[in-house]
Homo-oligomer: A and B are copies of this chain.
Amino acid sequence: MALRIGILTGGGDCPGLNAVIRAVAKSLMRQCGATVIGIADGFAGLMEAAPRVRELTWESVSGILMRGGTILGTSNRANPLRSEADTARVLEHARALGLQALVVIGGDGSMAIAHGLSQRGLPIVGVPKTIDNDILGCERSFGFDTAVATVTEAIERLQTTAESHGRVMIVETMGRYAGWIALEAGLAGAADVILLPEIDYDVEAVAAVCRARAQRQRYTLICIGEGAKPIGGELTVQRRIADSPDPIRLGGVAHALREALEVRLDVEVRATVLGHVQRGGAPTPFDRVLATQFGNEAAQLVMQGAFDRMVTLQEGRLTSVSLAAVAHGSRCVPQDHPLLRAARQIGVSLGEPA
C-alpha cells in the first residue's frame, strides 16, 4: 500500500521552506508513489477541531523553489504539547487522516514538539529551520545564507551614507541567542565593529574605535546582533522604554548603543533596525540547493522508517541526528571559532576591552 505522509512548517518564516516542501513531496511521490498531505499553519492546522489539510500534487509543488515563505502557512504559537487534550487531538487527527508519518520543518521549538509527539507514537522526521543558524547539531541551515545576504546588502547601503556624512552607523540584525548573522554579515559587509550575544561588549572600547576612525576614515559601521549586551548589563534606553509593551520592536539594542555613543562622541550616530526584511524574500541559490538536499534527505528517512530524527549537516555532510539531542538549546558561536580569529586579525573590533 502506498505511503500517506503529512508535512507542515512551524515557527517563523524562513527562505527555503518551499524548496524543502517541494523536495520532500516530489521525492516521496516519485520514489514510492506516496500521497503527501499538506497541513495548514503548522501544528495549528492539526490542533483545531477540523484539521485543515489538502493533498499536495506534483503541480502544486512545481514552481515554488524560488518563492520565499511557505505555501502551507505557518504559525509560531501552536504547541500541542501544552495540554494533554491538544496532544491527544493531534494524534487522533493524524490517525484519522491516515498519516503513516509526518515531516516537520521548524525551529528548535518545533523540534521539541516533534520529539514529544514521536515519543507518543507519531513517526516524525524533522527538518531544521532557522534564520539564525543556531539549531543544535546543524552546521548550516537553509535561510541563513539569504538572511546574511540581505543584511550584507543593507550594510553596504548604510556604509555609503556613513562615509558621505562622516557618521557612526549602527545596524541591528536578528540573532537573539546566537550571533551568526551579525558575524557573517558584518564580515561580508566590512563592518568595523561586530557585537555578538556571545561576547559582552565594552562601550568604551567601541567608542575608542569610533574616535580613532573619525580621524582617518571619518566613519564607523557597527553591526550588532539583537541579543548583544554591554559588559555589566543593559544600557539606559532599554530601561527607559521598558514600560512599553513591545520593547523589541523599538529596536532596543541599536538605539541603546546609539545613545551610549552619542554622549561619548562628537559625531552623529544613527541606528537602523533591519527587522522582518531579514526573514523574507526568495532564497539564494545556496539556500535553494541546501533546502532541496534537506527535503530529499527527509524523504529518505521517511522511506527508511528512521523516525524521531532530524536531517542535518555535520562535518560538511548530509546526515541525521536524534531529535532528543537537538530539541533544547541554541548553537552559539564558539569562542575559538576561526571567524572570530579572522575578524580580530584583520582589524575588526568585537567590542572587547582594550
**Interface residues, chain A, CB within 8 Å of chain B?**
9, 12-13, 15, 17, 22-23, 26-27, 30-31, 41, 58, 63, 65-70, 73-76, 139-140, 145, 148-150, 152-154, 156-161, 163-166, 169, 184-185, 187-190, 218, 249-250, 255, 270-277, 279-282, 284-286, 288-289, 292-293, 296-297, 299, 313-318, 338-339, 341-342, 345-347
**Cα A341 to Cα B31 with chains together (Å):** 11
Structural contact, B346 and A26, CB atoms closer than 8 A: yes
Contacts A188-B289, A297-B338 supplied; 17 other A-B pairs, CB < 8 Å: A12-B165, A27-B345, A58-B347, A65-B188, A66-B190, A67-B160, A68-B159, A73-B164, A74-B164, A156-B281, A184-B289, A189-B285, A249-B270, A272-B277, A296-B341, A313-B316, A315-B316
Structural contact, A156 and B66, CB atoms closer than 8 A: yes
Given A70-B164, A314-B316, A345-B26, answer yes or no on A187-B288 (Cβ-Cβ < 8 Å): yes
Q: List chain B residues, Cβ under 8 A from A139.
A: 316
Of the residues B65, B149, B285, contact of A148 by C-beta under 8 Å: B285
Q: List chain B residues, Cβ under 8 A from A69.
A: 159-161, 163-164
Structural contact, A277 and B23, CB atoms closer than 8 A: no
**Cα A124 to Cα B281 with chains together (Å):** 39
**Smallest CB-CB separation from A25: which chain B residue?**
B346
Which residue among A65, A156, A275 has the maximum number of chain B CB atoms within 10 Å of its CB?
A275
Structural contact, A30 and B272, CB atoms closer than 8 A: no
Structural contact, B280 and A345, CB atoms closer than 8 A: no
Structural contact, A23 and B70, CB atoms closer than 8 A: no
Which 9 residue pairs of A and B lie closest in terms of their CB atoms, listed nearest first?
A68-B160, A69-B160, A316-B316, A157-B280, A188-B285, A296-B342, A157-B281, A315-B315, A69-B164
Which residue among A148, A159, A163 has the maximum number of chain B CB atoms within 10 Å of its CB?
A163
